Amino acid sequence: MDLQKVERVYSNYARVYDQIFGRIFHESRESAVRNLNVKSGERILEVGIGTGLSLPLYPQDCMVVGIDLSASMLEKARERMVAHRLANVQLLRMDAGKMEFPDDSFDTVMAAYVVTAVPDYRTVVTEMIRVCRPGGRIVMLNHFSNGNKLIAACEKVISPLCKHIGFRTDLSLNTVLEGTSLFVARNEKVNPLRFWHLVECVNRKNGSSHSPS
């Protein structure tokens, strides 16, 4: 999928996303955000903020920046931000593969259902690493392909179909992390079907070996 197609797909979803996908994904999203153990003053970037379902879940003593490619999605997120009076939130229309932030801008970078929904996951992950400080956290909530050969074969078959609705199913976590500075500190399956992986990584770029502070 190219960027224009991604934007078109998610712009079409904007009006119904919360009713359809929000119900499916919300439990895992809520679990992911609540388990971040966010510290006061922490700088958080959420990539692919969508309609902003996660925004009310963050503590209001941290700074949250949400970016998304879809203007229609961001419009819904702004409505939610106003409704909940979230003064600690900033929303920006931005390509996750070409972020307009300086290096090391954030303590935590969160990406829920993003990595398998972008045309070039490698570029997006590289940008997430760049804007996250050394020793900071990069958290991905996503489906990653299963090690079971039968399931993997099925995922590969349906992946081209899934691309038409905005995501792929045949991408493994090892493939996503290969060659990066990310160290997996936590990897657990969430939601009742155990379909989504919550992966928390320490950003060890520039030789950092520290855990997030």
Residues β-bridged to residue 213: none
Among 94, 98, 93, CA closest to 123? 98
Instruction: Look at residue 150 in the predicted model and tell me its pLDDT.
Output: 45
Q: What is the pLDDT along the chain (213 residues), one digit of tens a residue?
A: 455 655 555 555 545 555 455 555 667 777 788 888 899 999 999 998 988 988 999 999 999 999 998 888 899 899 999 999 999 999 999 999 999 999 999 999 999 888 877 888 899 999 999 999 999 999 998 877 665 454 444 444 434 444 444 455 567 888 889 999 999 999 888 765 556 788 999 999 875 545 444
The answer to whether the pTM exceeds 0.75 is yes
* DSSP structure class, residue 64: E
User: Which residues are within 8 A (CB) of 49 and not within 5 positions of it... i.e. 6 or more apart?
Assistant: 55, 66, 67, 68, 73, 74, 77, 91
Instruction: Look at residue 154 in the predicted model and tell me its pLDDT.
Output: 43
Q: Which residue segments constitute the domains of the chain, with CATH numbers given? A: 3-205 (3.40.50.150)
Q: Starting at the edge strand that comes first in sequence, how are the strands of the sheet with 106-112 ordered?
A: 89-93, 63-68, 43-47, 106-112, 132-142, 196-203, 182-190
Structure-block tokens of residue 74: 């961001």
Residues β-bridged to residue 92: 67
